[in-house]
Amino acid sequence: MRCTPQRYAVMAFLMEQNRHPTAVEIFEAVNRMDPRSSRATTYNNLRDLVQAGLVREVAVEGRAARFDAKGLLHHHFICDRCGNVEDIDWYDVPRPATRSLGKRIVRDCELIFRGLCTRCAPKHGSVKSRKRVNTG
């Protein structure tokens, strides 16, 4: 893969991020640095970087995909309310039994945790307002 100025700009922007920007956010940031970069070029560069394994695309149900160039293995937590994507430290996931896979070949396994992030959880309700389970 050639290192074009536009591809370099996309990768450099992603490497500086502690968050997981969308393609639109990446395009807008890259375009501020180099207005010659088109939306199509930015999207094509993202696709190429994902295919090359240099960038991970994080699918968020019902929302725009987000992109991540963090080199270390990690999982993700996606907030149901605000859509924020956060990194979760990596831990090994047990591989499924061979017989349950059939003829499938596992390439990779990524866990995505879903729920409410620390900013949205307090807004969801206090402990008192949550349903209690009757144990007696």
- Is 71's pLDDT higher than 80? no
- Distances in whole angstroms, Cα of residue 108 to Cα of each of 8, 48, 96, 101, 104: 26, 19, 12, 13, 12
Which amino acid, 78?
I
Q: Which among 22-31, 61-70, 75-84, 90-99 has the top mean pLDDT?
A: 22-31
pLDDT band at 27 (very low <50, low <70, confident <90, very high): very high
pLDDT category of residue 10 using cuts at 50, 70 and 90: very high
Indicate the residue type of 50: V
* Amino acid in the structure at residue 116: L
Domains of the chain, earliest start first:
1-70 (1.10.10.10), 72-136 (3.30.1490)
Q: What is the value of pTM for the model shown?
A: 0.70
For residue range 81-132, list pLDDT tens digits in order: 888 888 888 888 887 887 888 888 887 777 889 999 999 987 765 444 344 4
